[in-house]
């Protein structure tokens, strides 16, 4: 049966629309923004909206009693610093402009050593469960694990923020940095996903706990890693992950 010109044009447009939709679906970035939590602007909001939100978040951080925050974990605050930064990875995760100025909080604390029985993911020999094939999905809430370098790494949420911390329990001092990755909530391993937050290069002395934190904007899996400085570059010394 011969089709008229209108039918042929309609069919052609339908095929083109399907092809375009398929193409769009194949190029979506892995770190594309998910649904933001209440109070966080929707992805694609105006620059002015994002700037107002970021300024409010920073003002709240400046007004926070970080010593009281540390006490909720049984720790004594040594130092807390609110740092302005432009973090394209963090901004992309919530659909904000790449050049949005946000803040993170770097803390130094004196914390008691976590009892071995409470460490999530600890295995014999001081290795974490993430060093072996995992068989269950990552847990929710605060998660901690022992690390290759003697210490304890934790990832948790508190007062609307995501924290990554590491307590060094070896001798002398070591240098490195903390990094938090965003991973799917269905993950069964604390792997390195999309970078979400990177802390500064710093030094830990024996018994010192350092943490980094940033405003929680989406429900997701978060994987905190401690990167130790070595002769050339850094090595991943351990990790902990959770749905937060």
**127 assigned to some structural domain:** yes
In a domain, 9, yes or no: no
93 part of a folded domain: yes
Structure tokens at 54: 């970021």
**In total, how many domains does the chain have?**
1
Q: Which domain covers residue 162, as residue numbers?
A: 47-243
Residue bearing the bigger pLDDT, 129 or 74:
74
Residue 33 inside a domain? The answer is: no
Better-predicted residue by pLDDT, 119 or 54: 54
CB 90 within 8 A of CB 180: no
Torsion of CA 146, 73, 65, 241, to 10 degrees: 40
User: pLDDT for 133-184, tens place per residue?
Assistant: 343 678 888 999 999 889 999 999 998 999 999 999 999 999 999 999 999 9
Exposed/middle/buried for residue 95 (C-beta within 10 Å: 0-12, 13-18, 19+): buried
pLDDT value of residue 112:
84
Q: What is the pLDDT of residue 121?
A: 42
Instruction: From 240, 91, 88, select the one nearest 163 (Cα to Cα).
Output: 240
Is residue 14 included in any domain, yes or no?
no
Task: Spell 126-165 as b/e; 16+ CB within 10 A means b.
Answer: ebbbbbeebeeebeeebbbbbbebebbbbbbbeeebbbbb
Whether residue 71 is contained in a domain is answered as yes
């Amino acid at each position: 049966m011969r089709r008229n010109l209108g039918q042929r044009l309609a069919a052609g447009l339908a095929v083109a629309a399907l092809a375009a939709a398929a193409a769009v679906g194949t190029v979506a970035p892995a770190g594309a923004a998910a649904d933001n939590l209440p109070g966080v602007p929707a992805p694609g909001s105006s620059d002015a909206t994002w700037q107002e939100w970021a300024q409010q978040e920073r003002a709240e951080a400046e007004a926070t009693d970080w010593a009281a925050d540390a006490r909720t974990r049984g720790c004594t605050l040594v130092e807390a610093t609110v740092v302005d930064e432009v973090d394209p990875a963090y901004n992309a995760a919530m659909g904000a402009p790449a050049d949005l100025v946000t803040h993170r909080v770097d803390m130094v604390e004196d914390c008691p050593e976590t009892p071995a029985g409470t460490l999530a993911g600890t295995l014999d020999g001081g290795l974490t469960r993430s060093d072996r094939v995992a068989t269950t999905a990552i847990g929710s809430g605060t998660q901690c694990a022992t690390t290759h370098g003697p210490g304890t790494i934790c990832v948790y949420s508190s007062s609307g923020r995501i924290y990554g911390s590491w307590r060094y329990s070896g001798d002398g001092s070591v240098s490195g940095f903390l990094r938090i990755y965003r991973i799917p909530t269905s993950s069964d391993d604390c792997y390195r996903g999309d970078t979400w937050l990177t802390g500064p290069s710093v030094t830990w002395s024996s018994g010192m706990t350092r943490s980094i934190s940033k405003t929680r904007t989406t429900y997701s899996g978060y994987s905190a890693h401690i990167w130790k400085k070595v002769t050339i570059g850094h090595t991943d010394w351990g990790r902990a992950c959770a749905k937060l």
